[in-house]
Structure 1
Amino acid sequence: MVRTSYMAEKLAVSFPLVVAVMGFTGWLVRTVTHASVQRGQQDER
């Protein structure tokens, strides 16, 4: 019983952290991709 509540508590703490990390990673990838695309367009000109 104690172990289950401990795991649930750990999951409740780590889940928002995982979501935040995933969101930040997705934002970082989009930013880098957008920057490289813009650089590529500038090179073509």
Structure 2
Amino acid sequence: MEDLAIRPSYTTCAEKEANAGSPKPEKLDETGQSFDIVTQHTRKDTP
């Protein structure tokens, strides 16, 4: 498992927060929704 903190895609606090409790890497899309990098779809199961 690589350190996400050193990856440029994970530079914002919001993205780090999203990944902190996530089983797989995510990023936030422009709408602020949690976006699944693996499937390239906005997750529907986020609280």
Superposition TM-score, scaled by structure 1 size: 0.23
Greater helix share, 1 or 2?
Answer: 1
Greater strand share, 1 or 2?
Answer: 2
Q: Max radius of gyration: which structure?
A: 1
Superposition TM-score, scaled by structure 2 size: 0.22
State the structure with bigger RCO (CA 8 A, min sep 6), 1 or 2: 2
